[in-house]
Amino acid sequence: MARMFRKNFGLTLLALPGFMLIILFNYVPLYGLLLPFKNYKYNLGIWNSPWVGFDNFGFLFNGDVLYRVLRNTILYNAVFIVLGTFLSIIIALLLFELSRKFVKVYQTILFIPYFISWVVAGFAFRALFDMEHGVINSILVTLGKAPVLWYNEPQYWPYILVAAAVWKGLGYGSVIYYAALMGIDAEYYDAAKIDGASKIRQAFSISIPMIKPMIIMLVILQIGSICYSDFGLFYNVTLNSSLIYKTTDVIDTFVYRSLIDMGDIGMASAAGFFQSIVGFCLVLLTNYIVRRINPENSLF
């Protein structure tokens, strides 16, 4: 061990800052797992606050609200994963066929939404859907149709939120898959051209199979966070309108509102702990299914 350490001393020094950051931000805070099982008091601190067992979890499991927010959270994230992955792969395949001279331009255009804050995006969507002065309602009035009270009608928001999430994440996902495509040996495509394979046949026979391990890995990781929602999306884009909670309320926004009303850190920690446990179990289950189908594509 000592000999191996001396041999890789330079590489160890390079990895040390990242290793220390992981220890500092991922392992040191683990003592906070005590919070879901305590009635946290500011003057007593974490260690001295009284134990309450599973009482904090009653905040989540009492009433019908849990079913609504859990249903919305899982269904939205499932759609985001399926649709986002599919469109990202399609865009990556299209970029892969473009001239390398123009790819960076298209990548930049696609990537810009990823860096836009949901607060800014929320104002943009309000400009579109404002009940009196919104662009869409102005077009509807011009066409002789009645304006729609977008922030009062929950049935429209599943489509709006899915479109917003895909718009923001499409560039990031496509760049990842494009990088994976760039790592494929060009000899495969040269052999396919000699055999007379079309671009579509090359995509289905070479490109997608070669990046399949990357696709599976990213999907498994996304499934692990399926109980977490993008708070900015569901809070800022919807303007936190209570009239559309039926289709826009998720675990994160529900916990946030409850904390604003009660200010109970223990309950918030219990919600986070519940999300982590569910995500961990889903990663194990998904990886198990993938390993049974094809062991080479599983994470572990």
> Considering the chain, what percentage of its residues have pLDDT values greater than 70?
98
- The 10s digit of each residue's pLDDT in 199-227 is 888 988 899 999 998 898 888 888 888 88
Phi then psi for residue 51, to 5 deg, are -75, 140
Structure tokens at 300: 């572990």
Q: Name the residue type at position 102.
A: F
- Per this entry, what is the length of the chain? 300
Q: Specify the pLDDT at position 223.
A: 85
Which of 197, 174, 154 lies closest to 88, judged by CA?
Answer: 174
DSSP 234-294: IIIITTT-GGGHHHH--HHHHHHHHHHHH--HHHHHHHHHHHHHHHHHHHHHHHHHHHHH-
- The 10s digit of each residue's pLDDT in 136-189 is 999 988 888 888 889 999 999 999 999 999 999 998 899 899 989 988 888 888
